[in-house]
Structure 1
Amino acid sequence: MPAESLEDLFLIELKDVYDTEHRLLGALDELSQQTTQEEAQQAFEEHREETEQHIRNLEQAFQALGEEPEREECEGIQGMIEETEEFFEEKEPAEQVANRYAIGAAQKTERYEITAYENMLQWAQEADMDREIIEAIEANLADEQSALRDLQRMAEEFDYQQIVAV
């Protein structure tokens, strides 16, 4: 698909972020299983539910554009997921190191999603897109920002004394 207009750019990014949200469903399950910190597990499980809603919101945006929902591989998020999987497989982290890494990995993906949604929101507004599209993107952006704030708080409150240097 050639990118000849702001609407084309928006649709390309919509397909990309639609793939991102689908990929993160499984990744959030993995992070929840890799951590033993109850608060982090709960946060990952809650964000998984939000991610399911994000997918529905994006499907509404596709519908408002008269397009069928379509995923375009998001190599950026795929790279982050692979990096996290490799860390847990290859580094065999101690429990508290795994817990802290999981929080950090989730923060990375939230920032990635926030940037994508901020761009999409700006493009949708500049292209004077339907209010339904803008509201779907705003809702997803607000959830991602809230999730990042929760993760930042968890990181700030993390008990680093539990990580013993060898």
Structure 2
Amino acid sequence: MAARNTNGNMPNAHLHELFVDELKDILGAERQLLKGLKKLATTAQNQKLQQAFETHYEQTEGHIDRLKSVFSTLGMTPRGKKCKAMEGLLKEAEEIADEFEDSPEVLDAALIAAAQKVEHYEIASYGCLVTYARLMEHTEAEELLATTLAEEKDTDVLLTTIAMKEANTGQVA
């Protein structure tokens, strides 16, 4: 099946402008997140949490590359826009880190909470994008976006695991 419906009768074409706008938003968000993940990794006390943030940094670079590929399948130049939601989530993460910097037994739990807010935003965004791509029969874009969605969900599960086994119990391993 073609990466893009090219017969001039794209199903659900009314979603195209929204789809492109959301792609620009999440591209901007992922770029903003790179900076935030560096800070989270250096602030985290727990080694597993630091590694999770570092791994997600690498994944985020891949997410950006995939988004560029999605734009390419649509015949468009990849352009992001400033994501106000991500800006707010990252600002909140910084505030939490500052508030609990003197309480290492709480700091990692707070960082995980902030990071999971980011993950849930990304999961919601990619979930919508996958649906839009499917409805418009942008098969290749759908597959690329679904791969990223799965990685975002995996990161959320990993953060929950670290929280439940270590960070929320006050361990600073």
Does TM, normalized by the shorter one, top 0.5?
yes
Question: What is the match of residue 139 of structure 1?
Answer: 147
* TM-score normalized with structure 1 length: 0.90
Task: Choose which of 118, 121, 133 in structure 1 pairs with 2:130.
Answer: 121
Equivalent residue number for residue 12 of structure 1: 21
The equivalent residue for 1:47 is 56
Q: TM-score when scaled to structure 2?
A: 0.86
Question: What is the rounded CA distance, in whole Å, between the counterparts of 1:57 and 1:161 in structure 2?
Answer: 37
Higher deviation after alignment, 88-97 or 17-26: 88-97
Distance 1:60 1:108 in 2: 26
**Equivalences for residues 38-117 of structure 1 within 5 A:** 38-117=47-126
Superposition deviation, residue 71 in structure 1: 1.0
1:10-51, Cα deviation, whole Å (9 max, x unpaired):
000000000111011111110011111000000000010000
Are residue 151 (structure 1) and residue 159 (structure 2) matched?
Answer: yes
Structure 1 unpaired stretches of 5+: none
Q: Deviations over 1:76-123 (max 9, x none)?
A: 111010111122235544112111111111111111100000001111
What secondary structure sits across from 2:89 in the alignment? helix
Q: Report the CA distance shift for 1:159/1:77 in structure 2 as closer, same or farther (over 3 A).
A: closer
How far residue 159 of structure 1 moved from its aligned partner, in angstroms, is: 5.5
Q: Separation in 1 of the partners of 2:106 and 2:71?
A: 40
Q: Report SS of the residue matched to 1:62.
A: helix
Task: Report the more deviating stretch, 32-41 or 78-87.
Answer: 78-87
Counterpart for residue 41 of structure 2:
32
**C-alpha distance in 2 between matches for 1:162 and 1:156:** 10
Over 3 Å counting, the alpha-carbon distance change for 1:157 and 1:140 in structure 2 is same
Q: How many residues align?
A: 159
How many angstroms apart in 2 are the aligned matches of 1:26 and 1:46? Answer: 14
Q: Which has the higher contact order (CA 8 A, sep 6+)?
A: 2
Deviation at 1:53, TM superposition (A): 0.3
